Structure 1
C-alpha cells in the first residue's frame, strides 16, 4: 500500500478503534442523559458490546494485514477496510447518533481508501 494511503488507513483505523472503545465506555451514561425516563436494557447493552467487539476484531485484522505490507496482504487488508467501512456505516441505527455520525464519516473514509488501493493494485495480482 502506498505511504499516503496507508497513513490515512492507519489514522482512520486508530480513530475507529478508539471510537468503539468510547462506545463501550459511554453508551450507557449518554443513553441515560438523553432518555432519563427509561434506562438502557442489559440485553441491549450486551448486544452493543458484542457488536463493538466484533468491529474491533475486524479492525485489528485489517490493521495486521495492512502493516504486513506485501502485495497480497495489502490487497486483503483493503478488502477488510471496505468491509469494516460498510459495517461502520450501519452503526448509526444501533449506537447513539454521536458515535454513529463519527462511524459514518470513518466508514466513508475507509471505503474510499480501500477502493482506491484495490483500483491501483489489481494488476499486480
Structure 2
C-alpha cells in the first residue's frame, strides 16, 4: 500500500480525531518507594534546556532537575517534603525521595527521553 503524502490539513484532521496520540503521561514502578511514579511530558524547549544543563554540571543535579520537572509528585507538599528529607532546594527532592538509587533515577530519565524519541537515538548509537 502506497503511503499518502503528508499534508498539514490531513495531519490536523487526524489530530482532531485523536488518531495521532502522543503519550503525554507514563508511569515508573519504583521498587524503592513501592509505588508508581507519574511522569509527564514537558515542552520540548524546556526539555532541551534541561538536557543541556546535564552536560554542563554535576549529573546528579541535572538528573534531579529533569525528574523534578517531569514528575508532578515532587511539586506537591514541597515545603513539608524539603523539611522531612532535609534538602535546601526543591529540585534536590528526587534523589532524596528515591534514596539516591541511581538505577531508578536513570530509568526515569530513560522514560522521559522516550517522550522525545531520544531512546531510539541511544539504541542506534549502541548498535553501531
Task: Report which of the two has the higher share of strand.
Answer: 2
Q: Which has the higher Rg, Structure 1 or Structure 2?
A: 2
Task: Name which structure has the greater RCO, CA cutoff 8 Å, separation 6+.
Answer: 1
On whether the aligned pair clears a TM of 0.5, the verdict is no
Q: Name the TM tier (shorter chain).
A: under 0.3
Task: Report which of the two has the higher share of helix.
Answer: 1
TM-score after normalising by structure 1: 0.25
